[in-house]
Structure 1
């Protein structure tokens, strides 16, 4: 049964905002135009706006009544260093930069909700009682140096207390408008390792007089495949990807060093710890077996993103009430991608959910299937603007209408 609470959403304005943001993409900590657009809108609608968090981040706050409930809704604003290939009328006008992950859509959905919620506030709040904090975050795409951590270090939750926080991301390939939830571990941790193998270089015609680090690196690539296959519980999830193997400068010289760069993912902290332990052991053991040495630099990135049960069920109930059971997926599969909203969920209960992006009429060239994020042909599905804004508005109404 659908909810009767369904305020008006200004979809025409949302299209204008989304396409304007898309035309002028900005990378992490450079979102000056995007932040200025958001600030102008929020101030016009009566929000108290605090700028300068993590440089280009901002928070718009709105009080309903005199209640003590406090809700945080977050959207990210940054683009990617990709040359857009969509050919759309609103395609990026900045060479080498594009909104290839849909953050332009996420920002716009939250702006649309902000406008609708301000209208409700002017009408007396419709039973809402508490404080709403809209968090517009920079630099989600920058890995461990991203905007969420920096906003928090600069006092996000001490300056803008939240009893719960929520965020949403589009999901290509899932039917447009479907809303997906998962309690518990929802997205993976993301770590990076650099393995530097030191050997003894020499002439390519006399390999017996060298210790070839390229061979050590190649052997380590294969040995690392056994970590997930033989050290991790088959019912757990883990990924080790060797994204870079770099060695040598020319064909007839055996180099002094070779490097591997790894991406490591896990959905449980204990698996994350085991992966680091085994990667170090395998790499150094392989090096020793060839008479070489290995130096390991291991960098912890985003933690596992964990959705709290009560807040996930609340958000799921809002989605069901608003869109019907058929539009809600209650136990979606976890993803091995990662998100810095995980840091916020370590400090406050909440939920990170997904909205189906469909294929939006685009494909990824020769490959079949819908175009995924981080692809030059990706575009956020504009049909989701109203859906997302309606959901955020209804969630805020539900949360702030519930006694503390």
Structure 2
């Protein structure tokens, strides 16, 4: 049986690094938004074909790819990467900066994709000499940034064995983490990332001349009251040891300085860590908006979209990850994540189907105490983290079958 103790895994990875860094820079220079990742899809297919890795393409709207390497066990381990970019104007100044104006890899998905390509490269070379301990499924997923590409990959059979290879018994994913130093990883059992809902709230009143507000019903005043009152969901409706975030992020109204408009539009997000709190927040937001609008002589219409569920890590999968990571990283560099993060992730959909572990991969360069954050125009994935992510993925895939 091939094991990680009978091969020089680090050496195999280092042999691949120059080409993998070039791939990462190429992906960074050619970012694509969710469900539009056609060039990225082509790079992934090219790489898998050159490795001789069997794959199924055209998934999840056409740009998702599922690769597969056979193994001895009856069930597969899955490794996942998201491949889409964000609508942000890049300001990194890198020589490989985005060539697509207004689109950039500001969340590190170019790094995630490269890590999964690298793991497939290394594991495919190992598999030429001996059959892997367990089959490995490589999930290259589109549209994580709001498009729920993960949900579609699950629905289209990437985990249940209906598309390629046997069914998946556990899945692992990672995210580059600009709050952790290079050389550290972090995760936690249970909730790691929040459920992420979205809403649009329209408040309709009666427009009038701005000099005669008494003859109308001002939706701007009503909307402003809703913005303030919505914060009471966290401070007065949810227990102090629970977690909820209600953020109103857009407020659109009016056409000029001397007209009170008929309507305002507010949009925002709600983040929670339990279904009960999620339901409570939705109900309270509706009640607050409806009643405050009525008190101002207006009407409120709330369009609430339930989004990504909580990213919940399976305790046994977390234990497996930590047992693999400690010898690689050193025990002090496998850091427990003390609290969940209120960001959202559609890796959550995989965790609803099979035991899952999502972990944070440190990115802060040596000699620095900070770096640009995710979704900022100056963010860039740290190439020095690629080899670490690849090794962890490979060791997770090659762990002995109990």
The verdict on a shared fold, with TM-score over 0.5 as the criterion, is yes
SS class of match (1:13): helix
SS class of match (1:236): coil
Greater shift in the superposed pair: 305-314 or 196-205: 196-205
Structure 1 position 361, deviation (Å): 8.6
Whether 1:196 and 2:202 are equivalent positions in the alignment is yes
Distance 1:74 1:253 in 2: 52
1:207-356 to structure 2, matched below 5 A, reads 207-356=213-362
Distance 1:272 1:346 in 2: 17
Whether 1:150 and 2:152 are equivalent positions in the alignment is yes
SS class of match (1:26): coil
SS class of match (1:58): strand
Distance 1:102 1:253 in 2: 45
1:55-70 to structure 2, matched below 5 A, reads 55-65=62-72, 67-70=73-76
1:18 to 10, 24, 40: 24
Distance 2:177 2:276 in 1: 28
Whether 1:402 and 2:391 are equivalent positions in the alignment is no
**Quick check: 1:192–1:298 contact (8 Å CA) kept in 2?**
yes
2:144 to 140, 143, 150: 140
Aligned to 1:87: 93
**Unpaired runs of at least 5, structure 2:** none
Change (3 A) 1:359 1:281: farther
Whether 1:52 and 2:58 are equivalent positions in the alignment is yes
**Unpaired runs of at least 5, structure 1:** 363-367
With normalisation by structure 2, the TM-score equals 0.93
Distance 1:105 1:26 in 2: 14
With normalisation by structure 1, the TM-score equals 0.93
How big is the alpha-carbon RMSD for the aligned residues of Structure 1 and Structure 2? 1.6
Structure 1 position 46, deviation (Å): 2.1
SS class of match (2:231): helix
Q: Deviations over 1:26-75 (max 9, x none)?
A: 1111111211111122122221111111111111101123x203111100
SS class of match (1:40): helix
Q: Deviations over 1:350-381 (max 9, x none)?
A: 1111101115899xxxxx95210111111000
SS class of match (2:171): strand
